[in-house]
Amino acid sequence: MKHPPLAVRACQGVCLVWLTAILLLGWVLRTHDLEVRSLWEDEGWTMLLSAGPGLDDVVRTLADDQHPPFYFMLLRLWRTAAGDSEFADRYLGVLAGVIAVAGTCQLGRALFSPLAGMLAALLLALADLPIDLAQEVRHYSLLLTFVVLSSAAYARWWRRPTRLNRAAYVLASLGMLYTHYLGLYVLGVQGLHLLLARRPWRRLAEGVLLLGAVGLGFLPWLPVMIEQNRVRWDNPLYYQNSLPNSPETFRLVRDTLLGHQYALLGSLILLGLVWLSWPRGDAAPRPTLRLRPLWPVLYPALQIVVIAGLIVAINERRQFLTVRNFLILTPALAVLAGHGLSNLPRLARAFMIVLLMTVALSTVDARRHYPDWRAVVGNVSAHYVADEPVLMDVWVGDFPARYYLDRQLGPATPRVSLREWRAEYREFFLPTLLDYLQHQDSFWLICWGDAPLNEYGSLIAQAGLERTATLAVDHLGTPIYSLRFDRRPASTLATFGDLFALHRVHAPASATTGGTISVALWWTAQQTPPLDYSVSVFLLDSAGALIAQHDGPPLDGHAPTSGWAPQALYFDMHHLPLPAKLSAGDYTLGVKVYWWGDGQPLPVESSAESATTYLVLGTVSIR
CATH number, domain of 428, equals 3.40.190
Residue 16 has pLDDT above 90, yes or no: no
Examine residue 610 and state whether it is found in any structural domain, yes or no: yes
Minimum mean pLDDT range among 227-231, 465-469, 567-571: 227-231
pTM, 2 dp: 0.90
* pLDDT for the residue numbered 237: 58
Res 372: pLDDT: 96
CB distance 442 to 467 below 8 Å: no
Strand pairing partners for 622?
A: 511, 585
End-to-end, the C-alpha distance of the chain in Å comes to 75
Q: Is residue 391 domain-shared with residue 539, that is, in the same domain?
A: no
In a shared domain, residues 332 and 477? no
Distances (CA, A) of 591 to 524, 532, 578, 596: 15, 17, 16, 15
Same domain, residue pair 393 and 348: no
- The CATH number given to whatever domain includes residue 521 is 2.60.40.770
pLDDT exceeds 60 at position 268: yes
Q: Do 329 and 296 belong together in one domain?
A: yes
Residue 351 shares a structural domain with residue 468 = no
Provide the percentage of residues in the chain whose pLDDT is more than 70.
95
Domain membership flag for residue 57: yes
- In this predicted structure, what is the pLDDT of residue 166? 96
**Mind listing the pLDDT tens digit for each residue in 403-454?**
999 999 999 999 999 999 999 999 999 999 999 999 999 999 999 988 899 9
Read off the pLDDT band of 327 (50, 70, 90). Answer: very high
- Helix axis angle for 330-342 and 346-362, nearest 10°, is 140
pLDDT top residue among 567 and 238: 567
Of 451, 481, 485, residue with least CA distance to 467? 485
Q: What would the mean pLDDT of 64-78 be, rounded to a whole number? A: 94
> Do the bridges between strand 275-277 and strand 516-525 make them parallel or antiparallel, or are there none, so unpaired?
unpaired
What percent of the chain has pLDDT above 90? 81
Q: Is residue 268 in a domain?
A: yes
Above 60 in pLDDT, residue 283?
no
Arithmetic mean of pLDDT over the chain: 92
**Measured torsion, CA atoms of residues 329, 177, 297, 352, in degrees rounded to the nearest 10:** 40
Write down the pLDDT at residue 2.
52
pLDDT digits (tens, 9 = 90+) for 449-474: 888 999 999 999 999 999 999 999 99
- Would you say residue 335 has pLDDT above 70? yes
127 and 276 assigned to the same domain: yes
* Burial of 254 (C-beta count, 10 Å sphere; 0-12/13-18/19+): middle
Comparing 281 with 531, the larger pLDDT belongs to 531
φ/ψ (deg, to 5) at 483: -110, 140
| The domain boundary residue, chosen from 308, 332, 362 | 362
Please check whether residues 426 and 306 belong to one and the same domain: no
Rg (CA), the chain: 32
Residue 3 is assigned to a structural domain of this protein:
no
> Within this chain, do residues 482 and 501 fall inside the same structural domain, yes or no?
no
In-domain check, residue 235 = no
Please indicate, yes or no, whether residues 258 and 279 belong to a single structural domain of this protein.
yes
Cβ(557)–Cβ(596) below 8 Å? no
- Predicted confidence band at 3 (pLDDT cuts at 50, 70, 90)? low
pLDDT of 299 strictly over 60:
yes
Q: Domain range for residue 435?
A: 373-487
End of a domain among 310, 335, 362?
A: 362
Angle at 327 between CA 322 and CA 333, to 5 degrees: 130
* In a shared domain, residues 382 and 352: no
Residue 180 belongs to a domain: yes
Q: Is the pLDDT of residue 232 over 80?
A: no
The reply to whether 422 falls in a domain is yes
Q: What is the pLDDT of residue 276?
A: 85
| 3-state secondary structure (DSSP) of residue 270 | helix
Residue 241's pLDDT band, with cuts at 50, 70 and 90, is confident
Residue 119's closest CA among 211, 19, 45? 19
Give how many domains the chain has, as a whole number.
Answer: 3
**In this predicted structure, what is the pLDDT of residue 291?**
76
- The DSSP bridge pattern shows strands 442-448 and 510-511 to be unpaired
Under the banding of pLDDT at 50, 70 and 90, the label for residue 240 is low
Is 170 found in the same domain as 26? Answer: yes
pLDDT digit string, tens, across residues 19-66: 999 999 999 999 999 999 999 999 999 999 998 888 999 999 988 888
Is 236 a domain residue? no
Q: For position 279, what pLDDT does the model report?
A: 75
Q: Check residues 129 and 319 and name the one with the higher pLDDT.
A: 129
Least confident of 10-14, 363-367, 500-504, 581-585: 10-14
Of 487, 510, 525, the domain-final residue: 487
Q: pLDDT for 595-618, tens place per residue?
A: 988 989 999 998 766 668 899 999
pLDDT at 319: 84
Do residues 479 and 499 share a domain?
Answer: no
